[in-house]
Amino acid sequence: MANQIRRLFDEHSVVDFSDIHDVHSIASVLKQYIRELPDGIVDSEATLQFVQAAEAAAGDPNRLCRDYAELIDRLPEPNRKLLKYLTEFLRRVADRDAENKMSPLNLGICFGPNVFRCGDTVQSLKVQSMANKIMSDLIAHYSDVFEPAPQAKLPRMVTVKECSGSGGAGNSPSLRRLSAGSTGGGGGGGHSMTNNNSSHSSSSESARS
């Protein structure tokens, strides 16, 4: 059945699955497609970076999701979009794990080896085990990794220095109004004081006369 499905994909750009009910064969074809990509979705170099991030952020889910998101942003755009699309689909499968027994952990074991390339080093088994866990993390924390909530921006505080501007405190509108009011331009405060002093001086001179 898997070969038949592959043949349908080779012959048609869009395949009608309405008459195909063998989900295991469909899943097998999906894994084959990912596995046969020239460099995979996540190449061996990027896989090591994911493993290092997972080890460094162990026990800190917030940092883990943040570091995963940063590494995913570095992937080529087609790889990034495919990984997001695939992970969202697998998350929807995991949402029904009570029925299909495919938890994020089980899906990580099934798809981790196909998504992450681990190379042919002596440590490949350890890397592959970590890659499976990373795939499980991406599925379980899909929203936090791929669709993080935007951070609220705090209002910008204006400092006194910024209010004064390049020309000193006198350039501030508030300070200019205050200065104008104290020197007689603000409705008579300082001007009245000058008139009162003049009247008092005139009265004193008259008394001495």
> Does residue 101 sit in the same domain as residue 185?
no
Q: Model confidence over 31-73: pLDDT tens digits?
A: 999 999 988 899 999 999 999 999 999 889 999 999 999 999 9
User: 3-class DSSP state for residue 42?
Assistant: strand
- Residue 54 in any domain: the answer is yes
Distance of alpha carbon 15 from alpha carbon 12, whole angstroms: 6
**Nearest CA to 36 among 117, 121, 147, 157?**
117
pTM greater than 0.95 (yes/no) = no
- Number of domains forming the structure of the chain: 2
Q: How far apart are the first and last CA of the chain?
A: 128
Domain with residue 103: its CATH number is 1.10.555.10
pLDDT category at 14 given cuts 50, 70, 90 is confident
Domain that holds residue 176: 160-198
- Residue 8 in any domain: the answer is no
Q: pLDDT at residue 158 above 70?
A: no
> Does residue 44 sit in the same domain as residue 126?
yes
> Does residue 139 sit in the same domain as residue 188?
no
Question: By CB neighbour count within 10 A (0-12 exposed, 13-18 middle, 19+ buried), where does 87 fall?
Answer: buried
Q: pLDDT at residue 201 above 60?
A: no
pLDDT at res. 5? 83
- Residue 65 in any domain: the answer is yes
> Does residue 61 sit in the same domain as residue 117?
yes
Q: Model confidence over 122-148: pLDDT tens digits?
A: 678 889 999 999 999 999 999 999 987
pLDDT category at 203 given cuts 50, 70, 90 is very low
- Residue 208 in any domain: the answer is no
